[in-house]
Structure 1
Amino acid sequence: MQVLYTASAQATGDGRDGHVRTSDGVVELDLAVPKEMGGAGDAANPEQLFAAGYAACFHSALRVVARRAKADVTGSVVDAEVGIGPNGSGGFGLTVTLVVDLPSVERSVAEQLVEQAEQVCPYSNATRGNVATTLTVRTAA
């Protein structure tokens, strides 16, 4: 694979109760363990960052496949939920739910576009077979 871009970030402090910063300084935030996991919950956490990245990446992939199919995805929205919990082997695992709203697309076309986007999206390609993922398609049509 020819790498077109590399993002670089550094974590300092106490991991989930620490600080992250990208090498270019565009992203710089404090982190906190979520209240649901016994923390203060007063700052961002890695699952929020993963959810934001996945939602944005999947939405881009969706727009690419829609453009190829000449489908109008005006008003489309992708929501990502990332869950974390014990994996039963002494570690932790993630779950992902993607909810894709395509209000101006017929249901069968919307489902095809989401399936195609799932094949194009780098996050989907990285997590396939490793993270339990649920895709939900919502349309007005």
Structure 2
Amino acid sequence: MSKIDKVLVTGKTHTTLSSSGNTSRGHNGNLDIELSTPGSAKTAHVFAATQPHPTAEQLFAGAWSACYIAAVGLAAKELKVTLAADVSVDIEIDLGQTANAYLLQARFDVRLPGLSHEVACAVAHAADQMCPYSKATRGNIDVAFNVLTS
């Protein structure tokens, strides 16, 4: 797999588990979007502080983060782990270039407060294994995970 030599643009998202039903505008011209799970009228995820005119990389990061954080909830349930209310994932997607090739790469900060690092890593890894976006990109782009417990 080729490595990016020069990053051209980065799309960043911050997604949290949520049960509220409000969509609100953030500060500094950013937009907060609340996402639902298919078949549910209830808000499932918050895609916060996006630019008013997001890039493709930011939209990809937002879609991936919504899917991934849902997988975190499923993985925790399967592993019989109780998650704190402030679980979140930050994803950065870089569009970059190596020679004449354009490539993507991703960085995840997965926050699972209140868990031991070992348990948090098990949940994050299990979520990565079940998330369809993670499956689709596996082996195609570089992905780095940082699991945080505080």
Q: What's the TM-score bracket when you normalise by the shorter of the two chains? A: 0.5 to 0.7
1:123 matched to 2:133? The reply is: yes
Cα RMSD (Å) of the superposition?
A: 1.5
Q: Which has the higher relative contact order, 1 or 2, with Cα contacts under 8 A spaced 6 or more apart? A: 2
Secondary structure, aligned partner of 1:67: helix
Number of positions where the alignment pairs a residue of Structure 1 with one of Structure 2: 99
1:78 match: 89
**Structure label with greater radius of gyration:** 1
Letter aligned with residue 50 of structure 1? F
Secondary structure, aligned partner of 1:57: helix
Letter aligned with residue 82 of structure 2? D
Higher helix proportion? 1
Q: Distance in 2 between matches of 1:50 and 1:91?
A: 19
| 2:107 paired residue among 88, 94, 97 | 97
2:73 match: 63
What percent identity do the matched residue pairs reach? Answer: 33
Structure 2: gaps of 5 or more residues: 1-50
Offset at 1:42?
7.2
Secondary structure, aligned partner of 1:59: helix
1:47 match: 57
Given the two structures, how large is their TM-score scaled by the length of structure 1?
0.66
Matches within 5 A, 1:30-41: none
Is the CA contact (8 Å cut-off) linking 1:106 and 1:139 kept in structure 2? yes
Is the CA contact (8 Å cut-off) linking 1:72 and 1:104 kept in structure 2? no
Given the two structures, how large is their TM-score scaled by the length of structure 2?
0.62
Higher strand proportion? 2
